[in-house]
Structure 1
Amino acid sequence: MLRAKFSPFAAAAVALSLIAASLPVTGTAATYLNGSNNTTFDVTLKIIANCVISAAPLDFGQTQGVLASNVSVNTNLSVTCTNTTPYNVGLNAGTGSGSVGTTRYLAGTGGNTATVQYNLFQTAGATVWGNTQGTDTHSGTGTGAAQTITVYGQVPPQSTPAPDTYKSTITATVYF
């Protein structure tokens, strides 16, 4: 009787082939003809009223000399609210020393205590922008997309303080 010699590698290959042959074939689904049943399920998403706001800096310029005439610049806010959501955007007085309500000041940052008076408007030079809803805030209705709102800034003529960088930080709030 002839006896075949198998190497351990050949024996392992044969064993793996037998195992692979016994596994179910993937990629083809079985077909059943005994009947069927079905059900339904709901897929839901709840949209709530929501708004987000962002702002770009407002810079009156790096090289102002004597404040003998208005210095006017503008910047933009971006408000995105859920479609049909009414909102108001308010701007607080800022962090400049003496700022309260819609009276705003830029404060010196280089160690002096001087201030520069300025204001923020909803329209160029008119309609002062504050933080009291229904009185001096900007109103709108959300569309589901970002809406750009212009903020107009103005430094009026005034006694010019010592050279320095003057700054205030405004908080813009969207109420909805």
Structure 2
Amino acid sequence: MCLLSAAAFVWSPRAQATTVCTATTTPLVFPAAGIAPSESTATVTITCNTFALSVVAYARVRMCLSLDGGSLTPAQITPRRMQNGFGDPLDFQIFRDPARSQVWGGPLASGNTGPVQIDLTYPVPVLGGSATATATLYGRVPAQPGAASGTFTNTFSASNATLSYRYVEPLLLTSPYPASCTTGGVGGGTTGFGFTASASVPSRCTLSTATNLEFGSVPGTILSNRDETSAVTFTCTNRTAWNVGLDNGLHAAGAIRRMRRGSTSDYVRYELYRDEPRNLRWGTTTGSDTAAGTGTGASQSVTVYGRVPSGQTVPAGSYTDTVTVTVTY
């Protein structure tokens, strides 16, 4: 008796596994901006996980990181913008390269120069595999001397910063990557990664000039008030609250300002005021006897109203005093 047996072989395609990629980003924080350019970086970290395969293989992932203009309206890219609490703008940009010459954009945003593409290959044994990749955001805030002071932000939500990817799971490393980040391969997806861009424009004031207060010449006794003016000129960042104070000079007797003749003991009394009628004495107590205002980012000036009161008889000569101007902000 001849016993015959037959074996049936059934072909089954190799099982595919799902690859999922996610991304996170550190904040893009710029140091003091405004007067000079300010630069900073942030890091995008992408993690791809491939679940177990039936045989040992590889995962090859083609990824694109895209950025639009952020949450502000309009969501412009050239330039991108941040705003402070008053809605004042501050221009900035995010680049793909350390030289900061290639703007980081995205396939759906107008006026951009494209997303950042990353290709990632990693082994996937029977228990599954994973790998990470990073990309750097190179940020710059150009010099904007007229920028307002304050904290500026632009929030990039998951819809403003996106990761698109496609993947294949070849047995050989020589197999090609998917055709693009959105086509080809055996699967893929799109996910968002949010971050905030922020910059601080500090309040600052710079004194430019303080003109001399010249009362002229008086023949003999000072029979009537001698009134003259001078000007203090300065520049403060927009929205910076400032106070200008004048001290009592070098030769004051208590709260009485005096000019002195050389190194003698001869003095001429005078006073400085904040108003033309010369009723408001000018001092150094912020909120009380100083001149106050708000910066505009442009040059500003305040007028100093001086008076030498009548009824003084002093020896002939040149009388002077030095007054210190202080801008508090």
TM range (shorter): 0.7 to 0.9
Q: Alpha carbons of 1:48 and 1:117: their partners in 2 closer, same or farther (altered >3 Å)? A: same
Task: Please identify which structure carries the higher helix content.
Answer: 1
How far 1:92 sits from its partner (Å)?
Answer: 0.1
TM-score between both structures, scaled by the size of structure 2? 0.40
Distance across 2 between alignment mates of 1:37 and 1:117? 72
The yes-or-no answer on 1:165 pairing with 2:262 is no
* Cross-structure match for 1:104: 257
Higher strand residue share: 2
- Give the distance between the partners of 1:81 and 1:97, measured in 2 at CA: 30
- What's the offset of the Cα at 1:64? 1.1
Q: Partners in 2 of 1:37 and 1:136 — Cα distance? A: 58
Aligned partners of 1:96 and 1:167 also within 8 Å: no
CA distance in 2, matches of 1:57, 1:37: 60
Preserved CA contact (<8 Å) 1:106 1:116: yes
Distance in 1 (CA, whole Å) between partners of 2:225 and 2:218 is: 11
What is the deviation of 1:97?
4.8
- Residue 41 (structure 2) aligns with: none
Task: Report Cα offsets for 1:10-53 as digits up to 9, x if no partner.
Answer: xxxxxxxxxxxxxxxxxxxxxxxxxx955752113652110012
3-state SS in 1 of match to 2:242: strand
Q: C-alpha distance in 2, partners of 1:37/1:86?
A: 43
SS where residue 119 of structure 1 aligns? Answer: strand
Q: CA deviation at 1:112?
A: 2.6
Which blocks of at least 5 consecutive residues in structure 1 are unaligned?
A: 1-35
Residue 139 (structure 2) pairs with residue 42 (structure 1): yes
Question: Which string of whole-angstrom CA distances, capped at 9 and with x for unpartnered residues, describes residues 44-74 of structure 1?
Answer: 365211001231111111x212201000000
CA distance in 2, matches of 1:153, 1:76: 11
Q: Which has the higher contact order (CA 8 A, sep 6+)?
A: 1
Gaps of at least 5 residues in structure 2 are: 1-114, 118-134, 143-199
Kept in 2: contact 1:82–1:142 (CA 8 A):
yes
SS in 2 for 1:57: coil
How far apart are the structure 2 equivalents of 1:37 and 1:144?
Answer: 37
Residue number in structure 1 paired with 2:328: 175
Aligned to 2:247: 92
Deviations 1:85-128 (A, max 9, x none): 00110000001252x34x2001111x431111100000122211
SS in 2 for 1:43: strand
**Number of residues paired by the alignment?**
137
1:123–1:157 CA distance, 2 compared to 1 (3 A): same
Q: Which runs of 4+ in 1 moved over 2 A?
A: 36-41, 44-47
C-alpha distance 41-163 of structure 1, shift in aligned 2 (>3 A): same
- The residue aligned with 1:64 is 218
Mapped to 2, the partners of 1:175 and 1:162 lie a distance apart of: 38
Distance 1:37 1:120 in 2: 63
| 1:90/1:138 contact within 8 Å kept | yes
The aligned counterpart of 2:292 is: 139
Q: Residue 74 of structure 1 aligns with which residue?
A: 229
**Match for residue 155 of structure 1?**
308
Q: Distance in 1 between matches of 2:291 and 2:252?
A: 25
For the aligned residues, what is the CA RMSD?
1.8
